[in-house]
Amino acid sequence: MALKKKPVTGMKDMLPREMEIRDYVIQMIKDTYKTFGFTSMETPCVEHIENLCSKQGGDNEKLIFKILKRGEKLKIDVAKEEIDLVDGGLRYDLTVPLARYYANHANDLPSPFKALQIGNVWRADRPQRGRFRQFMQCDIDILGEPGNLAEIELILATTAMLGKMDFHNFTVRINDRNILKAMAGYSGFKEEDYDEVFIILDKMDKIGAEGVGAELVEMGYTQENVDTYLALFDEISGDIEGIRYCKEKLKGFLDEKIADGMELIISSVESAKEADFKVEFDPTMVRGQSYYTGTIFEVTMDEFGGSVAGGGRYDKMIGKFTGQDTPACGFSIGFERIVMLLLENGYEVPRKGEKKAYLIEKGMHQAGILKVLAMAKEDRAQGRQVLIANMKKNKKFQKDQLIADGYENITDCYRDSVEQL
């Protein structure tokens, strides 16, 4: 069997240029989020299959890389269904493992718990631009805070980090699942049909209002209900006035506290933001995960053509582990998409110190090598990044490569003159 040098479909090798940016972004994320009081934690990449298939992950549950049972537990000859063969899977996000983690360690954690989690996740998805089957997620979550302070801090922290990455003029879109339900109820849809209605509504940016209306009618909903529903979206503006309109228009269907909370979030973020972006109320935004219970939000960038971060409130998830609901809200950055945009824009990682290279002539005597090692040690003590390499025959090409990699100072070390350096 011939060996294959290309990575598995949907996976990727990472060259030093990309790794330099990835490492820098990860450190920037950690440093920025820690200034907002978030603390690092970690969960295993393998999760119980029962947790992954608990109907909380939406379509992600169809994309799980499942792990077969091992040894005596694997009984293929008597298995009747898939669950008889598997007992674990690679996590498809960081939120479900976090809920299990908190349920297991709540007594040892502060309240509220402000978690920072960075790690790879896996989905058997169709690979496309900016999307791989293995990719890194960077999540911040606030567990145990029922008020809107959680949403405000999550949005401020995430946008501050994006601002430090030199992203400008992006948009934070915000909505609430309760507003979605109130609009559907006002329009005459039955509660048991909400999820189906929202799945179609989620296509609004792709097929437009006319397409959404046609699909709703095709699914058997009355034209009157559909017309009433779509008219609401024409009447609601994408600012605080739009929220106030919902509060008045949807009386009897929408708790006023929900509208007041949305207004507080938007006004607070606009007042305290540290980056250049706008906040937009978007009543068409759904977000696919079924575990969201309240506020939902996304960050979109024109140059990417989609969201680069997203999250929301999921107050019911932890209770599935403990039997007691715990308020929870999180924001996840599309790390791979951010790195891709930085690479495409030619982003340069800020240099902390000079990069210096020593090129040693072939056949260098021991005393000369020791001399170069001593000089390199002194340079590192002074904060320089030092590379020692043997000279190649094509020294000009070698130096051009080093210069391209940021080595401003290159020293040639020859046998007969190294002691004079």
The pTM of the full predicted model, rounded to 2 decimals, is: 0.86
Instruction: Note the pLDDT of residue 271.
Output: 95
Mean pLDDT computed over 203-209: 88
- Alpha-carbon distance 359 to 412, whole Å? 5
pLDDT band at 352 (very low <50, low <70, confident <90, very high): confident
Instruction: Note the pLDDT of residue 82.
Output: 77
CA distances from 188 to 116, 192, 200, 254, 385 (A): 41, 12, 16, 14, 67
pLDDT tens per residue across span 364-414: 999 899 999 999 999 999 988 999 999 998 989 999 999 888 888 999 999
Instruction: Note the pLDDT of residue 128.
Output: 78
Question: Residue 18's closest CA among 402, 335, 333?
Answer: 335
- Alpha-carbon distance 204 to 230, whole Å? 11
Residue 40 phi/psi, 5-degree rounding, is -75, 145
Instruction: Note the pLDDT of residue 305.
Output: 72
Judge whether residue 84 has pLDDT over 90. Answer: no
pLDDT tens per residue across span 6-25: 999 889 999 988 999 999 99
pLDDT band at 349 (very low <50, low <70, confident <90, very high): confident
Spatial neighbors of 11 by CB under 8 A, at least 6 apart, are 132, 133, 134
- Alpha-carbon distance 87 to 47, whole Å? 9
pLDDT tens per residue across span 271-305: 999 999 999 999 999 987 678 999 999 999 877 77
Question: Residue 372's closest CA among 417, 405, 408, 407?
Answer: 417
What value does the mean pLDDT of the chain take?
91
Q: Which of 8-17, 36-45, 102-111 has the lowest mean pLDDT?
A: 8-17
- Alpha-carbon distance 117 to 45, whole Å? 12
Mean pLDDT computed over 311-339: 93
Instruction: Note the pLDDT of residue 130.
Output: 63
pLDDT band at 340 (very low <50, low <70, confident <90, very high): confident
pLDDT tens per residue across span 233-272: 999 999 999 999 999 999 999 999 999 999 999 999 999 9
Instruction: Note the pLDDT of residue 242.
Output: 95
**Contact indicator for 138, 30 with CB cutoff of 8 Å:** no
More confident site: 15 or 73: 15
Query: What own/partner pairs with CB < 8 Å and gap ≥ 24 does 216-225 have?
Result: 221/189, 221/193, 221/197, 222/188, 224/188, 225/187, 225/188, 225/189
Kind plus residue range of the DSSP H or E element containing 12: none
Residue with tokens 């003590």: 381
The two tokens of residue 384 are 């320089």
Judge whether residue 80 has pLDDT over 90. Answer: no
The two tokens of residue 301 are 């960038």
Q: Which of 61-65, 154-158, 298-302 has the highest mean pLDDT?
A: 154-158
Judge whether residue 191 has pLDDT over 80. Answer: yes
The two tokens of residue 85 are 């063969």
Instruction: Note the pLDDT of residue 203.
Output: 87
Mean pLDDT computed over 180-197: 92
Instruction: Note the pLDDT of residue 69.
Output: 85
**Contact indicator for 134, 120 with CB cutoff of 8 Å:** yes
User: What residue ranges in 69-227 does DSSP mark as E strands?
Assistant: 86-90, 113-122, 134-143, 170-176
More confident site: 408 or 228: 228
Judge whether residue 116 has pLDDT over 80. Answer: yes
Instruction: Note the pLDDT of residue 303.
Output: 72
**Contact indicator for 113, 144 with CB cutoff of 8 Å:** yes
Mean pLDDT computed over 166-195: 93
Considering the domain delimited by 16-344, tell me its CATH architecture: 2-Layer Sandwich (3.30)
Instruction: Note the pLDDT of residue 281.
Output: 96
Judge whether residue 81 has pLDDT over 80. Answer: no
Bridge partners of residue 175, in order along the sequence: 296
**Contact indicator for 421, 375 with CB cutoff of 8 Å:** yes
